Chains A and B, each alone.
Chain A
Amino acid sequence: MRRQTSHLDPDVLAEFRAGLITGRRRRAIAAHLTDCARCTAADDQLAELSALLAAIPAPVMPESVAQRLDAALAAEVTRRDEAERAGARRPRDRRRAPRLARRPTLQLVMMRVLVPAAALVVLAAGGYGLSLLVPQSSSSSSVAAGSAAEPAAASAAPSAAQANGLPAPSTTARAAHPGIQKSTFGLVPSSTDFLPGTLRSQLEAALGALAATRQAPHLSGPLEACVQRLTSGVSPGTVKLAESASFQGRPAIVVVASSGSGYLAWVVTPGWVAPGCSATSAGVLARTTLPGISAP
């Protein structure tokens, strides 16, 4: 057998070690390793690298994170218990049943559709009303969402007091990011800063990422009521994405709903979630349709 004369690339050695190289090539590499000190040293180091990685002690979860997770879980448990009670009272309404948060239509989202582009409208941006959502953490808002769930679905005009009347929790996280809330009313926190010029591509990326996780938003409270008004006449109940993100550096809520074979998207300020919210009220920063999504 012909000896391999040149030194082995680390990639090749790593593949060799992982068993990805077979047959004659494998034999040639093995032969080379028997009499090449340099490649043998590299091979040893690859073995040591894995051992080194295994020996790194796991980082300890900070207490603040543990507390935050406990609070979020408690809120989720409360939400489920409330939903079960509501479900028991109204057996026909299964929308809020636990573990059935995704409605059937949401499980069938196919992201490969192509639809014609339509209008992009950017309305006046208002910096008002951020106080409505900002002070709330995921725990308190989710608890509130649970208790407000039943009326919120039917309520045409959710009261700001309902949201503001909550006790202000001690938020441990996000102190440096006052504009970005935790999953208030079912919003998924996002670090994306949406921009007018790239809004569509950013939304497509977000939808594509969402499709990978197959998670559908589970809106609640005033936000659910407002989004229902936003999407009314389009295709209510088909909200695909609801994120608390930024728009041009300012806190914003991004909502995407399916409509026919396409998608409609809105960017609103957090303060838009208030009595009188509508598709044309102040606080709607941008609207667009998604021309096409070709996610994996």
Chain B
Amino acid sequence: MQGADGPPSDTELLRRHVAGDSEAFGELFRRHRDRLWAVALRTVGDPEEASDALQDAMISAFRRAGDFRGDSAVTTWLHRIVVNACLDRLRRKAARPAVSAGDEQAFEALAAQGSDPARATDTRLDLNAALQILPPQQRAALLVVDMLGYSVADAAIILDTSQGTVKSRCARARARLLPHVAHLRGNRSASETVSPAQGGDA
């Protein structure tokens, strides 16, 4: 894929990097970094942590480029490294006792916001915030499949798990987000049909 006309392919850039080209990796990373930034930011939920994670991932990809076997797209491989770096950071953060209650607190805070009609003004902002109530693994799955549009098969590679697990994580994440989003969108049918109960009443 040494396109004589047009820019070199991702695979070609990675190959050049492994061969010692000092510029190739930078070109490859800059090509995808906005997307990778979005993944990192949404996965860890905090810009400072996200930039740390993305830098870790970038250096890791730089050093491990020789491990790339070409059995997935380069972007899939890059996303996998970024998601790993992010989940790694979240795990370490969770290991700190002080923040163990954070998820539930965030959940309560968002639940309170959800019932306030004034909050419906910025769906995007609130949806991004709502994503943070999800457990990291579910959030990452939803991010990769619904927000980035990866196939379940590619998502399974990125998340290093089975396709069935990707599907079930996404399903649980969507179900958990639903009450919040239904409120936020001001969907007429939603506010009365879904939010009062989570089903079950005959």
Q: Does chain B have a CB within 8 A of A58?
A: yes
The segment out of A72-80, A112-120, A153-161 that lies at the interface is: A72-80
When distances are taken between beta carbons in the complex, the residues of chain A under 8 Å from B147 are: 53-54, 56
In the complex formed, the residue of A with least CB distance to B166 is A18
Q: Does chain B have a CB within 8 A of A9?
A: yes
- CA of A51 to CA of B89 in the docked complex: distance in angstroms? 29
Q: Does chain A have a CB within 8 A of B34?
A: yes
When distances are taken between beta carbons in the complex, the residues of chain A under 8 Å from B189 are: 41, 44
Chain A 34-61 residues near chain B, CB threshold 8 A: 37-39, 41-42, 44-46, 48-50, 52-54, 56-61
Give the interface residue-count category, chain A. Answer: 35 or more
Question: Of B26, B182, B185, B201, which contacts A7 at CB under 8 A?
Answer: B201
In the complex formed, the residue of A with least CB distance to B29 is A73
The minimal Cβ–Cβ distance linking A257 to chain B, given in whole angstroms, is: 19
In the complex formed, the residue of B with least CB distance to A9 is B199
The segment out of B50-58, B103-111, B113-121 that lies at the interface is: B50-58
Report yes or no: B95 in contact with A20, Cβ–Cβ below 8 A. Answer: no
When distances are taken between beta carbons in the complex, the residues of chain B under 8 Å from A192 are: 92-93, 95-96
Report yes or no: B95 in contact with A206, Cβ–Cβ below 8 A. Answer: yes
In the complex formed, the residue of B with least CB distance to A15 is B171
Question: Of A42, A173, A188, which contacts B194 at CB under 8 A?
Answer: A42
The minimal Cβ–Cβ distance linking A174 to chain B, given in whole angstroms, is: 8
Report yes or no: B91 in contact with A205, Cβ–Cβ below 8 A. Answer: yes
When distances are taken between beta carbons in the complex, the residues of chain B under 8 Å from A70 are: 26
For the residues of A in contact with B, the DSSP-based class is: helix
Residues of A within 8 A of B (CB): 5-15, 17-20, 37-39, 41-42, 44-46, 48-50, 52-54, 56-62, 65-66, 68-70, 72-73, 76-77, 80-81, 84, 98-99, 101, 138, 173-174, 182-183, 188-193, 198, 201-202, 205-206, 208-210, 212-213, 215, 218
Question: Of B22, B87, B167, B172, which contacts A81 at CB under 8 A?
Answer: B22
Question: Of A65, A99, A190, which contacts B37 at CB under 8 A?
Answer: A65
Q: Does chain A have a CB within 8 A of B85?
A: yes
Q: Does chain A have a CB within 8 A of B153?
A: no
Looking at A8, A61, A201, the one whose CB has the most chain B CB atoms below 10 A away is A61
Report yes or no: A6 in contact with B91, Cβ–Cβ below 8 A. Answer: no
- CA of A44 to CA of B50 in the docked complex: distance in angstroms? 33
- CA of A76 to CA of B146 in the docked complex: distance in angstroms? 34
A-B contact pairs, 13 of them (CB 8 A): A10-B194, A20-B168, A42-B178, A49-B177, A53-B142, A56-B124, A59-B37, A61-B34, A65-B47, A69-B33, A99-B18, A202-B95, A209-B95
When distances are taken between beta carbons in the complex, the residues of chain B under 8 Å from A44 are: 189
Report yes or no: B167 in contact with A45, Cβ–Cβ below 8 A. Answer: no
When distances are taken between beta carbons in the complex, the residues of chain B under 8 Å from A53 are: 127, 142, 146-147
Question: Of B34, B167, B185, which contacts A20 at CB under 8 A?
Answer: B167
When distances are taken between beta carbons in the complex, the residues of chain B under 8 Å from A5 are: 202
Report yes or no: A193 in contact with B181, Cβ–Cβ below 8 A. Answer: no
Q: Does chain A have a CB within 8 A of B77?
A: no
The minimal Cβ–Cβ distance linking A130 to chain B, given in whole angstroms, is: 20
Report yes or no: B35 in contact with A56, Cβ–Cβ below 8 A. Answer: no
